[in-house]
Each structure stands twice: as structure tokens, then as C-alpha cells.
């Protein structure tokens, strides 16, 4: 169980904790395969942006083991890191749709609800029983009203939330969506995926679905509200000061992190990046996809970058700034 919480650094000494899963190999030392897998499980706990550190720290490990130089390369180890990271992610993403220590799940013939257990206060539970009732609140703020989805902000139990309801437009649309995962469920999964990768997004709060047995209908995805201007504000400014350039770097960093994680967004409008106090936050996750095949990711990533750059066609200064920043992060070459 080799994750970060099982190591304690105190007064310059490192302690291991929770030894219930430790197994001895007997008198002989671990083979290189078992050693590298144990090490890969550890590195898989880190966000992908820290994988670059493996090349600098691995020689120290190889030296401590007394192995010849090149006995275990960073490329070989990184392959195993990716394997265990995918396995860890699959295991966690199964938990977000069922009752467990982190999530409360309520399922019946007509309704499916799953939500963050840390927010399971009485007012939140009442709200999730009928999210549309919040539209009658005096402080409700519509963010989008369309045939496909309705988006509004409301306050529940002292928290400012954003509710995205995915509508059913017609009988044929209802039939076409009935047997598929709802777009709200896709957003719920992708939000947790991004949190696992250390990529900022609005904190996911709940998923609510109308059901008739196995058939799905309307669905609601609820997340915390993120305060800040969207990235299109970088185009509206007369000149780009240091604050604007810092915000642009944050957006570029999100693009780089998505690339490192082989995730395509699918809708790279400037309005889907919120410039918050914490940094650039990516939202609108229902078209997002995690790619395992390199070719599939490369094509989707190029489409994402081309769509992103179209945001700045009327703003040559902003376009030039992002082009330079993306080149510095080795993203432009994918176009």
C-alpha cells in the first residue's frame, strides 16, 4: 500500500506507516521486475506533471541497489507508472458511482443520486431531491437557457453551486439517450478524473438522474461555483499587462497538463476556462475524453488546440501571446 500518506517525515527521518500489506521475499532481494513495479506504484501516486522527476531520481535508486548503470531505465519505469496510474484511476472511478466512504449513493426505480458524503447535510439532501426547486429561489442566477441544457447558480447550505440540467428535447432524443450514460454522468466522472490528475476544475458535488428502471432521462450535474472572469476577457483588454500574461500562462499550463494526461477536452471555447484566484479552472466536461491510444489522442489534441486558437482570431496580440507560450510548452508543434 505504497502511497504518500504511508510515509512520515519527522526531524529529518523518514518513517513508513501501515505495514499490514508488507510481504517479505525471504533471504533473497526482490527481482528487478518486482522492485520496479513497487517503485512504479509509488510514482503512480504523483500527478503526471511530476513524471519528469523520475529521470533525475532514478539513478540514485539504481545506485543504492548496487545495480549497473542502465539496469533500469526511466523509459521502462515510466511505462509501468502509466500502467499502475491507469489501474488506480479505473479503481477509483468505479467508486464514484456507488455508496462508499467518500460518496453517498441513492438509487430507486425512478431516480439515481450520488453525491459527496462530506456535503450530506439536511439542506443539501433536500436540494438534491428536487434540484429544479432551486429555480424558485430569489437569488437564483441563470447562466444559460437552451434546448440542450439549462445552467444556473444557486446557494445551498451556504455554498454557491452551479447546476447544469441536461434536457430532453424530443421523444426521439429521449429514446436515443435512454440507454447511454447521461452527459451529467460523463461530467461527474471527468471532474473526478481531473482531480486525480491535479488539473483544476470546479469541485464536483452531485449527480442526479431521472430513471425509469434501466432507462435514463433528464440529468443534473452539480458543482461548486468558481468566481472569476473567463479567458475571453484576455481578448477584451486593450493591452496585456503582467496580470493578463500570468493568467494566460495558467491557461497554457492547463493545456499542457491535459496533454501530459492524454486527455482531450472537446470544446475549447475561451468561456470554458475560468481565471480564478487559485489559477485557471477548466469547466464544461461532458465532451472530455481520456485516450489510451497515442494516435487517437494526437488527433483529438490537435483539434483541441486549433479550436482554442480560434478564440483569438480577432485579437492579434492575445493570439501572438498564446502562440509564444504554447511554443514554450511544446504544444504548438501538435498543430
Reported as a single tens digit per residue, the pLDDT across 197-208 is: 999 999 999 999
Rounded distance between C-alpha atoms, residue 133 and residue 129, angstroms: 9
Map residue 20 onto helix, strand or coil: helix
Strand partners, 112: 107, 209
β 159-166/215-224 pair status: antiparallel
pLDDT digits (tens, 9 = 90+) for 270-306: 999 999 999 999 999 999 999 989 899 999 999 999 9
* pLDDT value for 240: 80
What is the reported pLDDT for 14? Answer: 94
Residues 6 or more apart whose Cβ sits within 8 Å of residue 36: 72, 76, 77, 80
- Residue 152 makes CB contacts below 8 A (sequence gap 6+) with 134, 135, 140, 141, 142, 143, 162, 163
Residue 95 has pLDDT above 90, yes or no: yes
pLDDT at 238: 62
Confidence of residue 235 (pLDDT cuts 50, 70, 90): confident
Distance between CA atoms of residues 151 and 71, nearest Å: 55
The confidence score (pLDDT) of residue 181 equals: 84
pLDDT band with cut points at 50, 70 and 90 for residue 174: low
Amino acid at each position: 500500500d505504497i502511497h504518500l500518506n504511508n510515509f512520515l517525515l519527522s526531524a529529518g527521518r523518514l518513517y513508513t506507516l501501515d505495514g499490514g500489506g508488507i510481504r517479505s521475499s525471504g533471504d533473497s532481494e526482490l527481482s528487478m521486475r518486482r522492485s520496479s513495479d513497487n517503485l512504479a506504484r509509488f510514482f503512480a501516486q504523483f500527478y503526471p506533471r511530476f513524471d519528469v522527476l523520475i529521470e533525475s531520481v532514478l539513478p540514485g535508486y539504481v545506485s543504492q541497489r548496487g545495480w549497473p548503470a542502465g539496469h533500469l531505465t526511466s523509459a521502462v519505469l515510466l511505462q509501468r507508472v502509466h500502467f499502475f496510474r491507469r489501474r488506480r484511476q479505473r479503481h477509483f472511478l468505479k467508486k464514484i458511482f456507488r455508496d462508499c466512504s467518500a460518496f453517498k449513493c441513492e438509487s430507486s426505480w425512478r431516480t439515481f443520486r450520488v453525491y459527496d458524503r462530506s456535503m450530506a447535510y439536511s439542506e443539501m439532501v433536500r436540494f438534491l431531491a428536487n434540484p429544479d426547486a432551486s429555480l424558485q429561489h430569489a437569488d437564483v442566477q441563470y447562466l444559460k437557457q437552451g434546448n440542450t441544457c439549462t445552467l444556473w447558480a444557486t446557494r445551498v447550505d451556504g455554498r454557491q453551486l452551479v447546476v447544469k440540467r441536461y434536457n430532453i428535447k424530443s421523444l426521439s432524443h429521449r429514446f436515443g439517450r435512454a440507454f447511454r450514460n447521461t452527459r451529467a454522468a460523463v461530467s461527474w466522472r471527468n471532474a473526478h478524473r481531473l482531480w486525480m490528475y491535479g488539473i483544476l476544475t470546479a469541485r464536483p458535488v452531485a449527480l442526479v438522474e431521472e430513471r425509469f428502471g434501466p432507462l435514463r432521462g433528464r440529468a443534473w450535474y452539480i458543482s461548486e461555483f468558481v468566481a472569476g472572469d473567463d479567458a475571453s476577457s484576455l481578448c477584451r483588454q486593450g493591452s496585456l499587462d503582467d496580470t493578463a500574461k500570468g493568467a494566460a500562462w495558467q491557461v497554457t499550463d492547463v493545456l499542457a497538463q491535459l496533454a501530459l494526461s492524454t486527455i482531450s477536452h472537446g470544446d475549447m471555447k475561451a468561456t470554458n476556462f475560468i481565471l480564478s484566484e487559485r489559477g485557471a479552472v477548466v469547466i464544461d466536461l461532458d465532451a472530455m475524453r481520456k485516450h489510451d491510444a497515442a494516435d487517437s489522442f494526437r488527433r483529438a489534441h490537435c483539434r483541441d488546440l486549433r479550436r482554442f486558437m480560434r478564440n483569438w482570431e480577432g485579437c492579434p496580440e492575445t493570439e501572438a501571446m498564446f502562440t509564444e507560450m504554447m511554443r514554450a510548452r511544446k504544444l504548438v508543434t501538435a498543430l
